[in-house]
Structures are given as C-alpha cells and as structure tokens.
Amino acid sequence: MPMKKLTIIISALCIFAGCGQKEEDTTLDQMNRIVSFLTSSHSPRLISEADLPDYMDDDVPPQFYTVYGRAAYRYIVNYYDEGRESRREVVRGDRVSITYAAYDFTAYRSVTIAQLYATNDESLRDAMVEAGWTLDEANRFYVFEPRTVVAGGGDVISGVSGSLAGCREGDQVEIYCTSSMAYGDSMVGILEKDTPVYWRVKIESIE
C-alpha cells in the first residue's frame, strides 16, 4: 500500500477514535449528573434498582429508578399504587398510547416551561402560550392528542422507547436520557448537540 494512502487511513482512524472517546466522556458525565439529580431531588430519596437488596427500612417501601441501556433512567412515580399490578404491562413490541412532555435537561435540575421542547399534553397549552409558543398546526413539536409509539421501536428516542417496557397502563413515568439515548450530536428544535433530555410520560393505553 502506498505510504501516502496508509497515512491517510491511520489519520482517519485516530480522528475516529478521538471522537469515540469524546462521546464516551460526554455520556459518562451526563450519566453521573443524572444520577446525582435523581438521588438528591426526590422525596423519599431514590435509589438504584440494583441497590434494592441492601434496602433496610421495612416501614417505608423503597422508591427506585431503573437503568435502561446503561444511559437512560426510569422512575415510575406510582409504582406502589393499589391495583397497579392488575393493570396491563407493556412488553417490547406493544403499541403504547402516551401523553408526554419533553424537556431540555442540560441544567440537571427541576424543569420549567422554558425547557420544554415538545409535548402533546393539553394541560400545558396555557403555559405554552404564556411562554411565547406560537400554537399553529405547522409546529411539529406538539400535537395535542395521545401519541402511539412502539415499545422498543424506532419511532421515538431510544431511551424513552426502551424504558416503556415494564410500565403499566395508567403509570406516571419520569424518563431521563443522556444524549446518546436521545438525539446524539443532532440539533432538534431548541436542543443543541449532545443534550440530555427528560420526558414526563403517562401510559394511557396499550394496544
């Protein structure tokens, strides 16, 4: 192989490796920040599902988050509701109707309407208008009706799609995704590249 061509190939491999390390560093930093938020912002305090065997308080049921695909985090708010276990459970491949609100989570703290970038939640309409949203039919970031997605499918970001499995009808779910489980280095709406996101989801029904 000519030396010039070999040099170009080696340079390309080095650039690729460098990019891969940068993406890995970004993901790890976002993972750490999300976990820090989860374990410090909720009451009762959230723990990882992996730590449930070590939970010691017999009087208070543990509130916990589940990790999906290493870099997405799910917390089912109403996990201990009476009758929840009798409701239908989402399995991979199910078509799931959801109401959601999606937020830029760059600040790693409780979100406001200013961080909202997409929703189909009718209850947010007035707040959106007050925040300056132009509610016209051409805006693809909101359609005020339930959205149907496939659990584990590709019609919504992977962190949300994968986190739906194991939820049940009626569940209120918080899903936190690193950018690697969201939009990666793409710019979407108000979101910059490598933006972590938070989705608040209600499972309306399962087909």
Confidence at residue 189, expressed as pLDDT on a 0 to 100 scale: 82
Residue 171 · residue 97 · CB < 8 Å = no
Domain positions in the chain are 41-206
AA letter at 46: L
Per-residue pLDDT of 80-137, as tens digits, reads 999 999 999 999 999 999 999 999 999 999 999 999 999 999 999 999 999 998 888 7
Distance CA 83, CA 126 (A): 33
pLDDT in tens, 34-91: 999 999 999 989 999 999 999 988 889 999 999 998 799 999 999 999 999 999 999 9
User: Can you tell me the mean pLDDT for 3-8?
Assistant: 40
Residue 146: band (very low, low, confident or very high) from pLDDT cuts 50, 70, 90 = confident
What was the pLDDT predicted at 1?
A: 45
For residue 174, pLDDT over 70 is answered with: yes
pLDDT at 164 over 70: yes
Look at the domain 41-206 and name its fold.
Chitinase A; domain 3 (3.10.50)
